[in-house]
Structure 1
Amino acid sequence: MEKLRPFAYWPAILWGIVLAILMLLPQDAFPESKLLSYDKLAHITVFAIFSILVLIGYQLKGKLSQQRTKHRNYTLTICLVYGIILESLQQFVPGRMSDVYDLLANFTGALLGVIVFNIFIKNKLAIHKLIL
């Protein structure tokens, strides 16, 4: 199964790179926008997407159905550690600073992504059972 989907984690990896670029840009590099002024909402959204992409990678590799709880915990750990790394690196970027509330928003987004993914999977399984 793994040989059939060698690029299953690429979307999550590429999104992680986009996150690093966005979170490590100087603050004045962002255009003023009412949408982007909701900083915590942005953190929640991008980390929700990140956790969903990681879980999709597990799903495509056929690993998620085997040990679902373990991989959910791995996903949350990956997102938490990555968020800590990015927040720590921000203190070295002009105009940026580390913020524990950003880290909390990152983890909240990751948790939200896991919940959304689980709801989607449960609904997909329920529909699949109805069809068969």
Structure 2
Amino acid sequence: MARILAIDYGMKRTGLAVTDDFQIIASGLTTVNTKELLPFLKNYIEKEKVELFLVGEPKQMDNTPSESEALILPFLKKLEALIPNIPIKRIDERFTSKMAFQTMIDSGLKKNQRKNKALVDEISATLILQSYLYSK
């Protein structure tokens, strides 16, 4: 088997999470400056086997796309063109940022550490990935 890589796409930063080779455990990978995301992904798949990109799909409470979806769609087209052999699947990411922040509190991180937005993005990607693994 190969890994699944989850992407919590953001305007400035993008959180990434990845499974182990057996797709059992979701772990935070890193947070990347969004401008450097495509080269990072290209480099990553040259070193690791990835069978699926899982990209968060931001939605409003009424199930309509959120405003940030307009930023994600062009990225998806570029990703598909750059790495056409790895499929892309979307997954609802509602509440992941709030859940990530709560996870930071629950794990005992100090207030100063919880201000680290890059960590919130990475945890959000991990939650998206974990949610997908539970649904499989």
Q: Give the TM interval when normalised to the shorter protein.
A: 0.3 to 0.5
> 1 or 2, which has the higher helix percentage?
1
> 1 or 2, which has the higher strand percentage?
2
Give me the TM-score of the superposition, normalised by structure 2.
Answer: 0.34
